[in-house]
Amino acid sequence: MLSSTQDGRHGYVGYVGYVGYVSVVLVAMGSNHHANDNLADARAMLTQLGHAVFTHLLVNPDYTATPSNPKPDYTNQCAIITLDTPISLCAFHQHIKDFERRQQRHDIKHKQQGKITIDIDVLAVQLASQDDILQKKHHAINRNVNNDNVNNDNVNTANDWLFIASRLPLKEHERHGVKELLEWCG
């Protein structure tokens, strides 16, 4: 899954614009309001999409807090999800944003109080292989579904990690999570 190069860097440098279908997604999650419950709900949602590996929980202070404006600590966690069925990055992103809304992520009262029920960010993806895309196309045709959005031009055969450019550089807790996942997943 994740691999290191000889110079100690990881084979995950890339830019994600339009990538087509993804088969593996690396996410960072955080909460500072009922964190254990909200992160448990997020883990359950993500495991419905495929096989997921989660890091340990990491509790750290909100770096924007000040003595005059204290804020609750954040509980953070990273995960790698190998999707049962490749989907577009846009569809995956929409799925997690819908989940955040159901968890009242954008509630005005919570926002005014600095409470974040759940925040899930895509850090990196691996593109679906040609076989994965063809299998999805075949499955869609068998169900008589219009599948014009499948694009076979964006296929990654090396399983490189493509990081979302706007997420770089990674935050400290995200680097910690990626390191933990590297150790576990080899």
Domain that holds residue 58: 21-137+168-185
Bigger pLDDT: 107 or 139?
Answer: 107
Q: 118: burial class by Cβ within 10 Å (0-12, 13-18, 19+)?
A: buried
Residue 142 belongs to a domain: no
Q: Return all residues near 35 (Cβ < 8 A) that are at least 6 apart.
A: 74, 75
Residue 152 belongs to a domain: no
Residue 79 belongs to a domain: yes
Residue 16 belongs to a domain: no
Residue 112 belongs to a domain: yes
Mean confidence (pLDDT) of the chain? 80
Statement: residue 130 has pLDDT above 80: no
Q: Confidence band (pLDDT; 50, 70, 90) for 30?
A: very high
Specify the residue for token string 């614009």.
Answer: 17
Q: What's the number of domains the chain is made of?
A: 1
Q: Confidence band (pLDDT; 50, 70, 90) for 69?
A: confident
Residue 76 belongs to a domain: yes
pLDDT of amino acid 10? 44
Average pLDDT over residues 112-129: 90
Residue 106 belongs to a domain: yes
Q: What CATH number corresponds to the domain at position 72?
A: 3.30.70.560
Tally of CA atoms within 13 A in the half-sphere of 86 that contains its CB: 28
Residue 7 belongs to a domain: no
pLDDT of amino acid 71? 86
